Amino acid sequence: MAGILPLDLRVREAASLFEAKKGVCQSWLGDREIERMSSAMDAPHPAEQQSLEFGNLVDEEQYNNLNHLDVRIFTDGSKIEGRVGAALSIWDGEVEIRSLKLALAPYCTVYQAELLALSYAVKEAQLRNGSTFGVFSDSKAALLTVTNHGSLHPLAVNIRKMLKECTLQNKTVALYWIKAHAGLEGNERADQLAKEAALLSKRSPHYDLCPVSYVKRIIRGGSLDEWNRRYRDSDRASVTKIFFPDAVAAYSTVRKMRITGHITQFTTGHGGFSEYLARFKRKGDPSCACEPGMPETVEHLLTSCPIFGKQRFELENKINITVNKENLCKLIVEKNVKELFIDYAVQIVKIVNKKNKE
């Protein structure tokens, strides 16, 4: 099939791209350590696993009913201005008795920050006097991770281990999910502390393991940059470059589109157009029906062919943009324009396909 690279060339291209990805990853990581899941072999036997669950508090009245708790520990995580922090606010009755700010590396996630805060909260329960502790978090994702024995996230595994040790100390540690910004003083205080930890901390991070999701994002970014370089430097895909001059921008646009055969034809130039058909000896004359000697290309059909002048005029009046070569890359991406433009282009493709087939 025309346009398909030979197998050996495709293999070399794939190998080259793999090496580029590997290089991007290694150069970015440096001495950073990737966060790895704990081994399932280190998990306790199912018969020895502690049953874990968390309560859901949706209003202040439910919170006020927890009068039996000796100590209440509020946790939160925050990512703001590219920096990450977590915090604890520890309360005895109506009084905050201690607070703790935790810094994380800037590439860490809020999810990691929430789990780190929970781990420090349970550690506080281990070390403090008292028999009943309540740990409050507004991150349901973090709580679900902790209570799911199948999750091998290292922070969650460590939390479960400490919860079991608390049980052996005859301490009860109850986990609760609370609605964020619902007016609970302890929760608001933890939120404020977490933001301060993210923005103001100048100490070494308490946690700096790099999440796999971030590594993937770095590799993806490197791959897209390399793809874009090859795309721009190549003499192929001349029609596609009219619509998508930048491969990275094209990636984010095309993945949201429902691609059809007709859309593929006008964005690649590979379709039932006289110029394309003549190139592969499927038609004798590459000319458009509007004028002998004028090649029937996608650019000509969409931007200047008089046969479709009426449709073009109507579209330009609706979108208030001139349909020319320079604007095609805008017409296919702008939110309030692209659907109208795609309908216009598809209509032309269908008419031309039918004419050339006959």
Q: What is the pLDDT of residue 93?
A: 87
Residues in Cβ contact with 90 at an 8 Å cutoff, skipping those fewer than 6 apart: 71, 72, 73, 74, 96, 97, 98, 99, 100, 124
Q: Is the pTM of this model over 0.75?
A: no
Spatial distance between the Cα atoms of 75 and 89, rounded to a whole number of angstroms = 7
Angle of CA points 128, 130, 134, to nearest 5° = 90
Q: Does the pLDDT at position 1 exceed 50? A: no
pLDDT in tens, 243-283: 999 988 888 888 888 889 999 999 999 999 999 999 999 89
Q: For the residues 179-199, what does the mean pLDDT come to?
A: 91
pLDDT band per the 50, 70, 90 thresholds, residue 239: very high
Place of tokens 């977590």: 86
Q: What residue segments make up the domains of the chain, in order of their start?
A: 40-209, 237-357
Burial category of 198 from C-beta neighbours within 10 Å (exposed 0-12, middle 13-18, buried 19 and up): buried
HSE-CB at 122 with a 13 A cutoff on CA atoms is 27
**Domain 40-209, CATH number (from 3.30.420.10, 3.40.50.2000, 3.40.50.920, 3.90.550.10):** 3.30.420.10
pLDDT in tens, 57-108: 988 888 888 888 999 999 999 999 999 999 999 999 889 999 999 999 999 9
Q: What is the pLDDT of residue 27?
A: 57
Burial per residue of 326-342, b for 16 or more beta-carbon CB atoms within 10 angstroms, e otherwise = ebbbebbbeeebbeebb
pLDDT band per the 50, 70, 90 thresholds, residue 3: very low
- At residue 210, the 3 state secondary structure works out as strand
